[in-house]
């Protein structure tokens, strides 16, 4: 599915560390994400649940939205996702449908693909070169 480039292993580690910041008292499903901007800046995100469901937010969206808010106009090159909560050590921490749409729209807005690194519990990394792998038919406004 591709090769890791310099910095990818570090981004995977950032996603693993971000999972420690997850607030998941209801689902007990902890997820960490980290994005690397083209400039090299890394922004972390972790899922944040709330008793007033659906007020929580997934790790991927936390990271993507934080990067957009804190580094407006700086394109995202790569996104790493990790969950220590998956029972199978080889299970992929796949983004939910909402996150898939947000990744797609971020790519469209910045007019470039985002490489996605899925890190399993055993630290195997699967690479997708853009969101289309996960969302072949995105919602698109004219």
Percentage of the residues of the chain whose pLDDT score is greater than 90:
92
**Helix and strand totals (H; E) in the chain:** 3, 5
Tell me the whole-structure pTM to 2 decimals.
Answer: 0.95
Residue 32 near residue 18 (C-beta atoms within 8 A): yes
60 catalytic? Reply is: yes
Structural domains in the chain, sorted by start:
8-131 (3.40.140.10)
How many CB atoms neighbour CB 25 within 10 A?
9
Annotated catalytic residue: which of 14, 49, 60, 107? 60
* pLDDT tens sequence across 3-24: 788 899 999 999 999 999 999 9
């Amino acid at each position: 599915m591709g090769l890791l480039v310099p910095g990818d292993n570090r981004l995977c580690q950032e996603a693993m560390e971000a999972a420690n910041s997850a607030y998941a008292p209801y689902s007990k499903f902890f997820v960490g994400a980290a994005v690397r901007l083209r400039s090299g800046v890394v922004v972390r995100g972790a899922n944040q649940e709330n008793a007033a469901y659906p007020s929580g937010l997934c790790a991927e969206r936390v990271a993507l939205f934080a990067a957009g808010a804190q580094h407006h106009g700086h394109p995202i090159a790569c996104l790493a996702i990790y969950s220590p909560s998956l029972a199978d050590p080889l299970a992929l921490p796949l983004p939910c449908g909402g996150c898939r749409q947000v990744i797609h729209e971020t790519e469209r807005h910045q007019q470039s693909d985002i490489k996605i690194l899925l890190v399993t519990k055993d630290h195997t990394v699967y690479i997708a070169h853009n969101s289309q792998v996960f969302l072949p038919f995105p919602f698109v406004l004219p």
